[in-house]
Chain A
Amino acid sequence: MRIDVLVAQPTQRLLAVVAPPRPAGPVMGGGAADWLAVTAERNAQRAAVAPRRDAWGWLPLLALTMASGLLLTALADKGGRDAATWADPVFWAGICLLFFPPALRLTLPFVARGERIGLLVTLGMAVYLVKVFEHPTSFALFDEFQHWRTAQDIVATGHLFSANPLLPISPNYPGMEIVTTALSSLTGLPLFGAGVAVVGMARLLLMLALYLLYEQISHSQRVAGLATLVFMANPLFLFFDAQFAYESLAMPLAVIVFYCVTRYSDAPKRHRAGWIAAVGIGLVAVVVTHHLTSLMLIVLLALWTTVVVIRNRRGGNKGSGRDARAYPIVGALLGIGIVVAWVLYVGDAVVAYLSPSIVNAVQGLAGILAGSSAPRQLFQDGTGTTAPIWERIVSFGAVGLIVAGLLYGWSCLWRHHRSNTTALALGIAALAYPVSQMFRLTANGSEVASRPMDFLFLAVAFVLGVGGAWLTSPDTVRWRRSGALASVLTVAFVGGIIAGAGPMWERLPGPYLASSDQRSISPQGIAAATWTYSALGPGQRFATDHVDQWLVGSYGGQMPVNVANSPVDESYLFFDNTFSSDDESIVSRGHIHYLLVDTRFSTDLPGIGYYYETYEPNAFHHTQPIPLTALTKFDNVQNVSRVFDNGAIVIYDTGAYSNG
């Protein structure tokens, strides 16, 4: 007898017990009752083989591989700081080692629920630590400084809603800062430490909430596991969702609210009061934490409500009865009411904040479609450097794979899930993914395309999870197929990082680069910002560049002047070789008391395409650095004092012209 036959026999016996011939598959078949019956039968049969199995499964071993991946990314960070050429390959090796082994395990069918959840939580936290280990001692990302300022103001004043010049809307949505300052006050941790802890807790919450939501909708552990895994391929997951910013906390809260709505819809009458109370207070927390997340949650609930109404009118739920009792409309209406009440309470700044980006993106897309404007050059930074060819292929490939997966997932969802209105609503929402990618071609639409990506991926991941679970169902399980699926997911994960994190210099720490987000944060910049606080006192009006605004606004506690919070465009001060009457007017109308000039702009082009503002002269089309004579022209201006110099940063006092 051949060895493979010997091996195959017990495997086939096991499969016969665990997976009866041609069952309904991983998701709902004809209806909930049928599916539940099959599931109960399967569970009973699986229990017979339970003693042989280990609830921890591969988790300890995979925890080791994930930790090893983290070690590689930490070494890559060190290499990046030393400008080593090996840093980038080692980073990607670490990312693949981090993601692929648990992905492979999660594509397999016979994994215990506890192990699945453990793997997902461990992987989610490990991916979070990739970001934390890049900047383990201080905030470094753009949004983090904005929210750090809000938290600093809460600590300094003991109250909410202080003006924040870095992001005026931030104090109106202080949920995350409340939790962070509470933790900081009670534990004695600095705000940075408390912020890392709060966002880490939010990541843990997100992993649990996603799994439990998908499991609640699909009643399938495999669908839930795969969908949660796919969610990690979201371009925002590695850095954006891990930063100290309001979305990082609002998203898990929104998923929990969605979960509570599904539980409420399914719950017997005597338990509904508790769930609806949970939905209500959860919605308030989401609304108080982040504007866009609350709006997207309401849109999703409204979509679900629409699907329920349509199906109930068509009599599509007579068979199951489950969705006939679904009342997502309660959540949607509650959400609308709370959003309106909050906007009335804090003011309508959110409309002014969100609408320009959306209008610009729609106009940009319309222009491209009409042929009146050219699409944005993808994979090229502000200095004209283009991403390596493999990055472009993987990034496009990831989008292509996701779109193809959506087609397959949709067919599975329609065949096996169409009586489930929640699943249908997510399926419809997933259709917005290909549309959203078109906005990436517009000059200002990248942000519009990426900001709702969390919510789009909430739906996309579910559809792909359904498709993936059917692709690797217990009847057809093959290592080769699971390996292929895990590889595809890894490509999607890597492609998501490339799309979400931007050019290589944004992914890894390293030497100073001019106007290149976190790569422009240097000890000189921090020292200058810190000096402004101690020497000049907080609250001074500063005109400075894009990155130094973060530093003087947070480390310095100053009031940076920019186009978002003042009637002038301060960038025009820095490009001419002479201090003209127009410059005097800008200083005067903007009440600009100090200018903080980074003289290194005279040697480098801006990585992000601009130095000061997106509307500055030659923004996104700079071909030469700013002449040093233009940056230091203030040396020769009567009554403008050069009060500070550290070689890289010079500060001028323009109080004589500012009226301020």
Chain B
Amino acid sequence: MANDSREAALLAAGSITAVVLTLWSDALASLAATSVRLDFGWEIAGALTGSMAVLRVAAATPLVLLLPGYLLVRLLLPGKGFSFATRLMLSLGASVVLTIFGGLLLNLTPFGLRAGSWAALLGLVCLAGCATLAVRGRRHAATPIAEPPMSRDAKASRAPFPLRHAALLALAAVVLVAAGGVAVASATGDAGAGFTQLWILPPNGSAGQGRVRLGVENDEGTAMEYSLALSVDGVPVRQWTNFVIAPGQTWQANAALPNEPFGSSQQVQAILYRADAPTQAYRHVSLWVTMPQPAPPLSPAGPAAGTAPIAPCPAPARWARPDSCGQ
């Protein structure tokens, strides 16, 4: 059972590597985020984070889906002479089971189900399994279990791998990658007809009372020129003409409303026009506001007092939770 000790050492090294890579990547990601704020070192940290991502996936995936279960099966069901298929199934299944147990356990702790707590827990489980395997290997070193006789399939599998098989498998891989490429290309290229989003919102907090927030997002797939008209109870109060928004970008503004008696209720309406159809309302929104107190007067012309263009935001990844960029 010296093999057990060697295997345990190897698996322990793998587990430690996975944990270290995970924690290091997390730290680098935090550094990258911090660097943006400090405006220094972002590129270095970002590049490191990017290069670590592949390694992290390669190392952490077995830590979740394979290693814990493999060790559990080695310890729980030793020396049964399982086939590769049986051992693979039991190892993957046991890893899933252990991860589920781990999640239930972490839920009871204040640390919760976070990257750090997962890395610590699964790392400890794997190291404990490796240690047990090594100790058991030493204790049973004198009575090695005989290997089961090699099956016909096993004999055949150790035969040289024919070149034609390698060629066919390589070709299959190429076709598979092509299929994946077609799938991704058609899915990402399926943006459908373009559209524009218009919104109107009350101010954030009491500091902006007497104002409204307006936003336009261009998802037409091409740069667009718009005009926006703002009215209160049907009376025009403000207009933004011929402003251009690049595709995927957002335009936002804060607009002050005219003074009205305290407590009066008004309907503020915004109508968006496209430059190529300047008389046809393209989008329209409205907001009922109750005037709490007098607001600053509107400037009669020129750039609107209180209009605050916001920096453009990239569109969020489809599967990611949207962030609060632009708001």
CB contact between B175 and one of A64, A253, A289 (< 8 Å): that residue: A64
Q: Does A355 contact B (CB under 8 A)?
A: no
Q: Does B191 contact A (CB under 8 A)?
A: yes
In chain B, residues 34-71, which have Cβ atoms closer than 8 Å to a Cβ of chain A? 53, 56-57, 60-61, 63-65
Interface segment, one of B3-11, B112-120, B253-261, B294-302: B112-120
Q: Are A137 and B187 in contact (CB under 8 A)?
A: yes
* Interface residues as binary, A166-194 with B (CB distance below 8 Å gives 1, 0 otherwise): 00000000110011011101111111110
Q: Are A185 and B115 in contact (CB under 8 A)?
A: yes
Q: Does B318 contact A (CB under 8 A)?
A: yes
Q: Does B307 contact A (CB under 8 A)?
A: no
Q: Are A71 and B96 in contact (CB under 8 A)?
A: no
Q: Does B326 contact A (CB under 8 A)?
A: yes
Interface segment, one of B133-141, B234-242, B282-290: B282-290
Q: Are A288 and B85 in contact (CB under 8 A)?
A: no
- Interchain Cβ contacts under 8 Å between A and B, 5 examples: A157-B112, A186-B63, A284-B100, A641-B285, A643-B200
Q: Does B198 contact A (CB under 8 A)?
A: yes
CB distance from A654 to the nearest CB of B (A): 11
CB distance from B150 to the nearest CB of A (A): 10
Q: Are B76 and A61 in contact (CB under 8 A)?
A: no
Q: Does B143 contact A (CB under 8 A)?
A: no
CB distance from A539 to the nearest CB of B (A): 13
Q: Which residue of B lies closest to A644 (CB)?
A: B199
Q: Are B99 and A533 in contact (CB under 8 A)?
A: no
Residue in B53, B111, B165, B183 whose Cβ sees the most chain A Cβ within 10 Å? B183
Q: Does A567 contact B (CB under 8 A)?
A: no
Q: Which residue of A lies closest to B123 (CB)?
A: A186
Residue in A174, A278, A512, A534 whose Cβ sees the most chain B Cβ within 10 Å? A534
> Whole-angstrom distance between the alpha carbons of A28 and B56 in the complex?
49
Contact of A55 with B157 at beta-carbon distance under 8 Å, contacts A174-B103, A204-B92, A647-B195 already known = yes
* Interface residues as binary, B152-189 with A (CB distance below 8 Å gives 1, 0 otherwise): 11011101011011101101110110111011111110
CB distance from B81 to the nearest CB of A (A): 11
Q: Does B190 contact A (CB under 8 A)?
A: yes
Q: Are B323 and A60 in contact (CB under 8 A)?
A: no
CB contact between A277 and one of B53, B76, B190 (< 8 Å): that residue: B76
> Whole-angstrom distance between the alpha carbons of A205 and B97 in the complex?
13
> Whole-angstrom distance between the alpha carbons of A641 and B287 in the complex?
5
In chain B, residues 85-104, which have Cβ atoms closer than 8 Å to a Cβ of chain A? 85-86, 88-90, 92-94, 96-97, 99-104
Q: Does A451 contact B (CB under 8 A)?
A: no
Q: Are A183 and B65 in contact (CB under 8 A)?
A: yes
Q: Does B264 contact A (CB under 8 A)?
A: no
In chain A, residues 130-162, which have Cβ atoms closer than 8 Å to a Cβ of chain B? 132-139, 152, 154-161
CB distance from B180 to the nearest CB of A (A): 7
> Whole-angstrom distance between the alpha carbons of A531 and B162 in the complex?
56
Q: Specify which chain A residues have a CB less than 8 angstroms from the CB of B321 in the assembled complex.
A: 152, 156, 533, 557
Q: Does B25 contact A (CB under 8 A)?
A: yes
Q: Are B85 and A112 in contact (CB under 8 A)?
A: no
CB contact between A179 and one of B96, B180, B265, B287 (< 8 Å): that residue: B96
Q: Are B197 and A187 in contact (CB under 8 A)?
A: no
Q: Which residue of B lies closest to A94 (CB)?
A: B179
Q: Specify which chain A residues have a CB less than 8 angstroms from the CB of B318 in the assembled complex.
A: 137-138, 192, 526
A: residues with CB less than 8 A from B are: 43, 46-47, 50, 53-56, 59-61, 63-64, 66-68, 70-71, 73-75, 77-78, 81, 112-114, 117, 129, 132-139, 152, 154-161, 174-175, 178-179, 181-183, 185-193, 197-198, 201-202, 204-205, 208-209, 211-212, 249, 252-253, 256, 259, 271, 274-275, 277-278, 281-282, 284-285, 288-289, 509, 511-512, 522-524, 526-528, 530-531, 533-535, 555-557, 635, 638-648, 653, 656
Q: Does B319 contact A (CB under 8 A)?
A: yes
Q: Are B319 and A71 in contact (CB under 8 A)?
A: no
Contact of A182 with B183 at beta-carbon distance under 8 Å, contacts A71-B175, A114-B157, A646-B195 already known = no
> Whole-angstrom distance between the alpha carbons of A522 and B192 in the complex?
8
Q: Does B305 contact A (CB under 8 A)?
A: no
CB contact between A60 and one of B169, B176, B183, B219 (< 8 Å): that residue: B169
CB distance from A511 to the nearest CB of B (A): 7
Q: Does B77 contact A (CB under 8 A)?
A: yes
Contact of A54 with B287 at beta-carbon distance under 8 Å, contacts A134-B183, A183-B65, A644-B197 already known = no
Q: Which residue of B lies closest to A510 (CB)?
A: B190
Q: Which residue of A lies closest to B289 (CB)?
A: A641
Q: Are B162 and A54 in contact (CB under 8 A)?
A: yes
CB distance from B239 to the nearest CB of A (A): 18
CB contact between B64 and one of A63, A179, A284 (< 8 Å): that residue: A179
Q: Specify which chain A residues have a CB less than 8 angstroms from the CB of B232 in the assembled complex.
A: none
Range for the number of chain B residues in contact with chain A: 35 or more
Contact of A81 with B186 at beta-carbon distance under 8 Å, contacts A522-B192, A640-B288 already known = yes
Q: Are B61 and A197 in contact (CB under 8 A)?
A: yes
Known: A54-B162, A160-B103. 7 other contacts (CB 8 A): A70-B175, A183-B60, A209-B93, A531-B199, A533-B321, A643-B201, A644-B199
Q: Specify which chain A residues have a CB less than 8 angstroms from the CB of B222 in the assembled complex.
A: none
CB distance from B136 to the nearest CB of A (A): 13
CB distance from B106 to the nearest CB of A (A): 8
> Whole-angstrom distance between the alpha carbons of A530 and B326 in the complex?
12
Q: Does B205 contact A (CB under 8 A)?
A: no
Q: Are B152 and A252 in contact (CB under 8 A)?
A: no
> Whole-angstrom distance between the alpha carbons of A132 and B319 in the complex?
15
Q: Specify which chain A residues have a CB less than 8 angstroms from the CB of B76 in the assembled complex.
A: 274, 277-278
CB contact between A643 and one of B18, B57, B85, B287 (< 8 Å): that residue: B287
Contact of A182 with B64 at beta-carbon distance under 8 Å, contacts A67-B175, A209-B93 already known = yes
Q: Which residue of A lies closest to B93 (CB)?
A: A256
> Whole-angstrom distance between the alpha carbons of A55 and B25 in the complex?
42
Q: Does B325 contact A (CB under 8 A)?
A: yes
Q: Are B187 and A509 in contact (CB under 8 A)?
A: yes
Q: Does B107 contact A (CB under 8 A)?
A: yes
CB distance from B96 to the nearest CB of A (A): 6
Q: Are A534 and B322 in contact (CB under 8 A)?
A: yes
Q: Which residue of B lies closest to A523 (CB)?
A: B192
Q: Are B97 and A253 in contact (CB under 8 A)?
A: yes
Q: Are A182 and B57 in contact (CB under 8 A)?
A: no
Q: Are B152 and A527 in contact (CB under 8 A)?
A: no
Q: Specify which chain A residues have a CB less than 8 angstroms from the CB of B64 in the assembled complex.
A: 179, 182-183, 186-187
> Whole-angstrom distance between the alpha carbons of A646 and B285 in the complex?
10
Q: Specify which chain A residues have a CB less than 8 angstroms from the CB of B287 in the assembled complex.
A: 641-643, 653
CB contact between A71 and one of B179, B284, B285 (< 8 Å): that residue: B179
Q: Are A78 and B172 in contact (CB under 8 A)?
A: no
Q: Specify which chain A residues have a CB less than 8 angstroms from the CB of B215 in the assembled complex.
A: 535
Q: Are A647 and B152 in contact (CB under 8 A)?
A: no
CB distance from B93 to the nearest CB of A (A): 4
> Whole-angstrom distance between the alpha carbons of A441 and B185 in the complex?
40
Q: Does B29 contact A (CB under 8 A)?
A: yes
Q: Specify which chain B residues have a CB less than 8 angstroms from the CB of A557 in the assembled complex.
A: 321
Q: Are B288 and A139 in contact (CB under 8 A)?
A: no
Q: Are B186 and A645 in contact (CB under 8 A)?
A: no
Q: Are B323 and A534 in contact (CB under 8 A)?
A: yes
CB contact between A175 and one of B63, B100, B190, B200 (< 8 Å): that residue: B100
> Whole-angstrom distance between the alpha carbons of A635 and B288 in the complex?
11
Q: Which residue of B lies closest to A133 (CB)?
A: B183
Q: Are A641 and B219 in contact (CB under 8 A)?
A: no
Q: Are A181 and B316 in contact (CB under 8 A)?
A: no
Q: Are A158 and B265 in contact (CB under 8 A)?
A: no
Q: Specify which chain A residues have a CB less than 8 angstroms from the CB of B153 in the assembled complex.
A: 55, 112-114
> Whole-angstrom distance between the alpha carbons of A643 and B286 in the complex?
6
> Whole-angstrom distance between the alpha carbons of A177 and B324 in the complex?
25
Q: Are B86 and A212 in contact (CB under 8 A)?
A: yes
Q: Are A50 and B156 in contact (CB under 8 A)?
A: yes
- The 5 closest A-B CB pairs, nearest first, are A158-B112, A178-B103, A55-B156, A192-B319, A133-B183
Q: Are A208 and B88 in contact (CB under 8 A)?
A: yes
Q: Are B183 and A77 in contact (CB under 8 A)?
A: yes
Residue in A75, A78, A81, A178 whose Cβ sees the most chain B Cβ within 10 Å? A178
Contact of A133 with B179 at beta-carbon distance under 8 Å, contacts A534-B323, A640-B288, A648-B195 already known = yes
> Whole-angstrom distance between the alpha carbons of A644 and B191 in the complex?
20
